[in-house]
C-alpha cells in the first residue's frame, strides 16, 4: 500500500521510496527511511496535504508525494540496529535486513541488444526473441527470485533514444516516468557500444537508478576489443556488468548489482552517483535559466528531474512542452528557451537538439577513450555480415535470392506439410467412424461427428503446415534476414507510399494478420503505419490456407493447384499495392518522416528460440481451434440441423439454409450458392471457419458449382472482411474505430466487386 492510503491516526512502516533520484534524496533526507514508523497525524480540509510524524518530526506531504512512498502495517525487521557505527548519517541509512520484498526492474535498451533474451533467462518465460526491432510491442512481465527479493521484470520495447519520436519511445518514457521502476537495467550491445550509450546518457539525464548490462560481451571479446569496464562504470556513475544472454553469463552478478543499487544510497560509491553530462556553457546557461522556473514547482519536482525537463525543452520536445504548458510561468519558460536556442545557434551554428546530441556523443567518446576502448580486429562479427550483405542486398541477386527464399518457404510448407496432414486426416476419420460405431443415432452423435469433428477436424489438419510456415518466419526474423528483406524492399515500398519497415508486418501478415497489425508499431510515421495496417488484410494469412487447399484440391488438377494458389497470393499483393497508392494519394495525406533502417549483424538463431516462437504460434492456433472455431462449428452445425419445425428434413430447410437463401441474391453475380454464402457469413469470426462450415454443409455430397465460381469464391475469401481479431487489432493500433470500420467495409465491398468482375468477364471467355 502507499502512504497516501494511510488514514488519520494510523501507523505504518516505510517499505520503500519510489520516484526519480532527486525526489528520493530529498524525502530520505527528511527521514523517510525504510523500516521507520510513520503516523498520519491530520489531513488538511481537502485531504491534501497530510501531516505525518516520522522520527519525531512532523512533516506534511502532498498526496502525490505520499503516493510515491510504499508502506506496510507490518513491522519489518529493524533497519538500523546500530546506526551510529555507519559512516554515513543514520537518517540516510537505507540498508534493510528485512524480509522478502519486491523490486521492479525495467529493461531498457536499443532494439536487438538482447533485452528479451535477458528477460527469458531471468524469468524462464517463453517470449519470442526476434532479430529486428519491434518484436516486443508491449511490456512483458516476468518474475524471478534473487537474493531474498522477488524481482519483477518488465521487458520494454527497444528504442534508440527517449525522444518522443516513435510510439515506442513515448511508451518507454511513459513507463519510466509513471510507473517508476525501482531499478533500470540498461541493456547495451557491447559490440556496438558507442551508439548504445546514447540512450544511457538520456537515462542519466532522467536521474534514475540504472545498472548497465554490457551484453554481447562474447562478441566484443571475440573481436578482441579492449575496454576497462570498471573505469567506464565509474565514469558514468553506474555499475556495469559484462553479460552474454546467449549463455546466461553474468546474470547473477547483474542481479546482485541491482540489489546493491536498490539497497544503497546514491553517492555511496563511485559506481553509484548522479552525474550531469556537462554541455557547453551556452547550453548549460539555457538549462539553468529554464530550471530556475521549474525548481519552484514542488509538484513538478516530485515527478521529474528538472534538469531533464529543461534539456528536453531545449530539444523542442512536444510532450515536455505540453507538461509545462500548465505552469503559470510557461511564457517565461518558453522565452528562456527561445533565448537559449538562439544563442546556441549563434555560437555553435547548430540547432539546440543537434548541439545537445553532439555534446552527448562527445561525452561518450571521451568516456570510452578514458576507459581505454579499442576496437579489436580479430573476429569481426560484421566481417561475415558485410560479406553476406554484399550478396544478399546486391542489386542484381538480392531480389532473386529473396524470391527464391519465399518460394522455398511455400514449397516446403506445402510439400512437407502434406505428410503429417494426411496422418491427422486419417486420425480424424478413424475417430469419426469409431464414434459412429459406438453411438446411437441422434442429435448428439450428429453434433459430435458432423459438427465438432467435421468443423474442427477440417481445420486442425493444417496445423503442421502452419507450424512449418512459422518456423520459416522465425528463422528469417532471428537470423537478421528479415531486416535485409525490409532493406531491399524499401524502394518498392516507397513506391507504394510505404516504408521498407512496412515490409516486415506485411510478410508477417502471411502468417496471421493480428500480430502483423501489432508489428506496425515499429513504423515511425503515423501515415505509413496506418496505410500498412489497412492493406494488411490483403496479405493472405494462414487461416485462409485451409479454404484454398480445400477448393483448389477439389476443382483443379494437381498441375494447376500450386499456380492457382500462388495467383491468389499475387492478387492479394497486387491489390495491396493499388490500395496503398490510393490511400496515400487520396485518403491519408501528410508528410513522411525520414527513418534509419537498422541492419543488425547476422546471427545464428538458436534452436531453442526458433522452437519457442514456433510453438507459441502453434499454441495460439490450437487455442483458436478450441475456442472460436469449436463454438462456431457447433453453431453452424446446429443452424443446419434444426429448422423452423424442429429437426430440419434437409439442409435447405434449416435455419442456415434460410439465412443463405436470404443473402443469395447478393451473390448471384458471382454464381455462389447459398451454402457458400453461409460459410462466408460464418467466416466473419475467423477465416478457418469458412473451411469448417463448407466441411459441415457439404458433408459427403459433391460440390455443385463451376470451376470459375470456385475461383471467384477463393478471391472473395482472400479479400473480404479479415476477421474480428484483425479488426480489433486495427482499432487498438490506430486508436480509433474509424479506421477499423473503414477496413471492414472497404475489404468487403472490394471483394464483391473483384469477384463479380472476374466471374462476369470470365464467363464471357469460357462460354
Ligand atoms: P531485444 O530486441 O533487445 O529484445 O533482443 P533479443 O533478446 O531479441 O536478441 C536479439 C538477438 O541477439 C537474438 O538473436 C539473440 O539470440 C541474440 N543475442 C542476445 N544476447 C546475446 C549475446 O549476449 N551474445 C550474442 N552473440 N547474441 C546474443
Ligand atoms: Mg525484445
Among candidates 148, 130, 127, which has minimal Cα distance to 139?
A: 127
Q: Does the beta carbon of 218 sit less than 6 angstroms from any atom of ligand 1?
A: yes
Q: How far apart are CA 670 and CA 663, in angstroms?
A: 13
- Between the alpha carbon of residue 593 and those of residues 166, 173, 296, 578, 745, the distances in Å are 10, 21, 37, 22, 29
Residue 114 CA, ligand 1 centroid: distance in Å: 4
Residue located nearest, by CA, to atom 28 of ligand 1: 246
Question: What CA–CA distance (Å, rounded) separates 239 from 711?
Answer: 64
Element (H, E) at 186: strand 183-189
d(CA 163, CA 176): 13
Dihedral of CA atoms 174, 178, 183, 185 in degrees, nearest 10, equals -10
601 Cβ closer than 6 Å to some ligand 1 atom: no
CA angle, corner 216, sides to 373 and 233, nearest 5? 45
186 lines ligand 1 (CB under 6 A): no
Q: How many CA atoms lie within 13 A of 355 on its CB side?
A: 27
- Is the CB of 254 within 6 Å of ligand 1? no
Q: Which of 89, 416, 437, 301 is nearest to 309 (CA)?
A: 301
Determine the angle formed by the axes of helices 630-641 and 688-698, rounding to 10 degrees.
30
Residues 586-624: b if buried by 16+ CB within 10 A, e if exposed: eebeeeeeebeebbbbbbebeeebbebbbeebbeebeeb
Which residues are CB-contacts of 613 (< 8 A; sequence separation ≥ 6)? Answer: 128, 129, 130, 470, 474, 477, 478
- Please tell me the predicted confidence (pLDDT) of residue 187: 96
Task: Look at the block and give the residue holding cell 485518403.
Answer: 587
Work out the angle at residue 290's Cα, subtended by the Cα atoms of residues 288 and 296, and round it to the nearest 5 degrees.
95
Q: Is the CA virtual torsion 137, 726, 697, 552 positive or negative? A: negative
Contact partners, residue 84, CB within 8 Å, separation at least 6: 90
112 alpha carbon, closest ligand: 1
* DSSP string computed for 346-366: HHHSS-HHHHHHHHHHHHHHH
Write out the three cell numbers for 130. Answer: 526476434
**CA of 129, closest atom in ligand 1:** 8
Distance of alpha carbon 463 from alpha carbon 476, whole angstroms: 20
Tracing cell 548497465 back to the chain, one arrives at: 212
pTM score, whole prediction = 0.64
* Residues of the chain scoring pLDDT < 70: 29, 44-47, 56, 76-100, 125-139, 164-166, 379-382, 458, 522, 524, 590-599, 617, 620-621, 624-625, 651, 767
Residue among 221, 478, 603, 606 to mutate when testing ligand 1 (max atoms within 8 A of CB): 603
User: How many angstroms separate the CA atoms of 53 and 39, rounded?
Assistant: 5
Question: Which ligand 1 atom sits nearest the alpha carbon of residue 478?
Answer: 14
Label residues 220-246 b or e (16+ Cβ within 10 Å = b): bbebebebebebbbbbbbbbbbbbbbb
Q: Separation of 126 CA from ligand 2 center, angstroms?
A: 12
Probe target for ligand 1 pocket from 108, 112, 195, 479, with the most ligand atoms within 8 Å of CB: 112
Note whether 616 and 128 are within 8 A (CB).
Answer: yes
Task: Write down the pLDDT at residue 91.
Answer: 35
Is residue 293 within 8 A of residue 327, CB to CB? The reply is: yes
Residues 306, 69 contacting (CB under 8 angstroms)? no
Q: How far is the CA of 103 from the centre of ligand 2 (A)?
A: 21
> How far apart are alpha carbons 181 and 546 in whole angstroms?
46
Q: 707-719 and 674-682 helices cross at what angle (nearest 10)?
A: 20
How many Cβ atoms are within 10 Å of 138's Cβ, its own excluded? 11
DSSP character for 628?
A: I
Cβ–ligand 1 contact at 704 (below 6 Å): no
Going by C-alpha positions, the residue among 461, 752, 456 that lies closest to residue 631 is 456
d(C-alpha 56, C-alpha 39), whole Å = 10
Residue 36's contacts (CB-CB under 8 Å, 6 or more residues apart) are 13, 14, 54, 55, 79
Question: Where do we find the cell 488519520?
Answer: 8
Residue 131 Cβ inside 6 Å of ligand 1? The answer reads: yes
Q: How far is CA 220 from the centre of its chain?
A: 28
Report how far residue 101's alpha carbon sits from residue 70's, in angstroms, rounded to the nearest whole number.
Answer: 11
Q: What pLDDT shows up at residue 597?
A: 59
Amino acid at each position: 500500500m502507499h502512504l497516501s492510503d494511510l488514514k488519520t491516526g494510523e501507523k505504518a512502516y516505510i517499505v520503500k521510496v519510489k520516484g526519480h533520484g532527486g525526489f528520493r534524496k530529498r524525502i530520505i533526507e527528511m527521514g523517510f527511511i525504510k523500516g521507520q514508523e510513520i503516523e498520519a497525524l491530520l489531513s488538511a480540509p481537502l485531504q491534501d496535504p497530510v501531516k505525518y510524524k516520522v522520527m519525531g518530526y512532523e512533516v506534511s506531504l502532498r498526496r502525490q508525494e505520499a503516493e510515491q512512498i510504499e508502506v506496510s502495517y507490518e513491522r519489518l525487521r529493524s533497519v538500523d540496529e546500530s546506526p551510529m557505527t555507519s559512516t554515513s548519517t543514520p537518517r540516510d541509512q537505507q540498508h534493510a535486513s528485512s524480509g522478502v520484498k519486491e523490486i521492479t526492474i525495467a529493461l531498457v535498451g536499443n532494439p536487438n541488444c538482447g533485452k528479451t533474451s535477458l528477460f527469458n533467462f531471468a524469468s524462464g518465460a517463453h517470449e519470442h526473441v526476434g532479430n529486428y526491432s519491434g518484436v516486443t510491442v508491449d511490456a512483458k512481465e516476468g518474475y524471478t527470485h534473487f537474493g531474498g527479493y522477488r524481482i519483477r521484470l518488465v521487458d520494454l520495447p527497444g528504442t534508440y533514444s527517449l525522444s518522443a519520436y516513435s510510439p515506442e519511445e513515448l511508451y518507454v518514457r511513459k513507463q519510466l516516468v509513471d510507473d517508476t521502476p525501482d531499478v533500470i537495467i540498461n541493456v547495451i550491445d557491447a559490440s556496438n557500444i558507442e551508439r548504445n550509450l546514447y540512450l544511457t546518457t538520456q537515462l542519466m539525464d532522467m536521474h534514475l537508478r540504472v545498472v548497465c548490462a554490457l551484453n554481447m560481451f562474447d562478441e566484443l571479446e571475440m573481436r578482441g576489443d579492449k575496454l576497462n569496464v570498471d573505469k567506464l562504470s565509474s565514469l558514468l556513475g553506474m555499475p556495469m556488468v559484462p553479460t552474454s544472454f546467449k549463455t546466461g553469463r553474468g546474470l547473477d552478478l547483474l542481479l546482485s548489482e541491482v540489489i546493491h543499487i536498490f539497497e544503497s544510497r546514491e553517492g555511496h560509491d563511485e559506481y553509484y552517483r548522479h552525474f550531469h553530462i556537462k554541455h557547453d556553457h551556452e547550453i548549460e546557461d539555457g538549462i539553468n535559466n529554464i530550471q530556475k522556473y521549474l525548481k519552484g514547482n514542488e509538484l513538478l519536482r516530485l515527478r521529474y528531474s528538472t534538469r531533464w525537463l529543461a534539456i528536453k525543452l531545449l530539444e523542442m520536445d512536444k510532450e515536455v512542452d505540453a507538461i509545462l504548458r500548465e505552469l503559470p510561468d510557461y511564457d517565461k519558460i518558453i522565452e528562456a528557451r527561445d533565448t537559449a536556442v538562439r544563442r546556441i545557434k549563434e555560437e555553435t551554428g547548430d540547432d539546440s537538439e543537434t548541439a545537445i546530441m553532439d555534446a552527448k556523443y562527445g561525452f561518450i567518446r571521451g568516456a570510452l577513450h578514458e576507459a581505454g576502448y579499442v576496437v579489436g580486429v580479430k573476429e569481426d562479427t560484421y566481417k561475415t555480415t558485410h560479406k553476406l550483405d554484399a550478396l544478399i542486398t546486391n542489386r542484381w541477386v538480392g531480389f532473386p535470392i529473396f524470391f527464391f527464399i519465399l518460394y522455398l518457404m511455400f514449397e516446403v510448407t506445402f510439400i512437407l506439410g502434406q505428410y503429417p496432414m494426411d496422418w491427422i486426416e486419417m486420425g480424424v476419420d478413424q475417430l469419426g467412424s469409431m464414434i459412429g460405431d459406438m453411438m446411437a443415432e441422434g442429435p448428439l452423435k450428429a453434433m459430435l461427428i458432423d459438427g465438432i469433428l467435421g468443423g474442427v477436424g477440417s481445420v486442425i489438419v493444417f496445423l503442421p503446415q502452419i507450424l512449418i510456415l512459422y518456423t520459416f518466419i522465425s528463422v528469417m526474423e532471428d537470423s537478421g534476414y528479415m531486416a535485409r528483406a525490409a532493406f531491399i524492399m524499401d524502394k518498392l515500398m516507397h513506391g507504394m507510399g510505404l516504408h521498407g519497415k512496412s515490409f516486415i508486418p506485411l510478410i508477417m501478415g502471411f502468417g496471421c494478420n493480428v500480430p502483423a497489425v501489432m508489428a506496425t508499431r515499429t513504423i515511425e510515421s503515423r501515415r505509413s503505419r496506418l496505410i500498412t495496417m489497412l492493406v494488411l488484410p490483403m496479405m493472405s494469412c494462414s487461416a485462409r490456407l485451409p479454404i484454398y487447399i480445400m477448393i483448389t484440391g477439389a476443382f483443379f488438377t494437381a498441375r494447376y493447384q500450386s499456380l492457382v494458389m500462388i495467383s491468389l497470393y499475387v492478387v492479394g499483393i497486387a491489390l495491396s499495392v493499388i490500395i496503398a497508392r490510393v490511400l496515400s494519394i487520396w485518403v491519408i495525406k501528410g508528410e513522411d518522416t525520414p527513418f534509419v533502417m537498422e541492419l543488425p549483424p547476422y546471427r545464428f538463431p538458436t534452436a531453442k528460440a526458433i522452437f519457442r516462437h514456433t510453438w507459441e504460434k502453434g499454441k495460439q492456433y490450437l487455442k483458436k481451434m478450441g475456442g472460436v472455431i469449436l463454438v462456431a462449428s457447433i453453431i453452424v452445425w446446429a443452424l443446419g440441423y434444426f429448422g423452423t419445425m424442429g429437426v430440419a428434413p434437409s439442409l435447405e430447410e434449416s435455419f442456415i439454409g434460410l439465412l443463405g437463401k436470404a443473402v443469395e441474391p447478393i451473390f448471384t453475380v458471382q454464381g455462389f450458392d447459398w451454402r457458400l454464402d453461409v460459410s462466408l457469413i460464418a467466416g466473419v469470426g475467423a477465416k478457418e471457419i469458412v473451411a469448417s462450415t463448407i466441411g459441415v454443409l457439404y458433408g459427403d455430397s459433391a460440390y455443385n458449382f463451376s470451376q470459375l465460381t470456385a475461383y471467384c469464391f477463393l478471391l472473395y475469401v482472400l479479400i473480404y472482411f479479415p476477421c474480428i481479431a484483425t479488426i480489433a487489432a486495427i482499432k487498438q493500433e490506430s486508436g480509433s474505430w474509424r479506421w477499423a470500420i473503414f477496413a471492414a467495409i472497404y475489404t468487403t465491398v472490394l471483394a464483391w466487386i473483384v469477384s463479380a468482375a472476374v466471374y462476369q468477364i470470365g464467363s464471357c471467355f469460357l462460354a
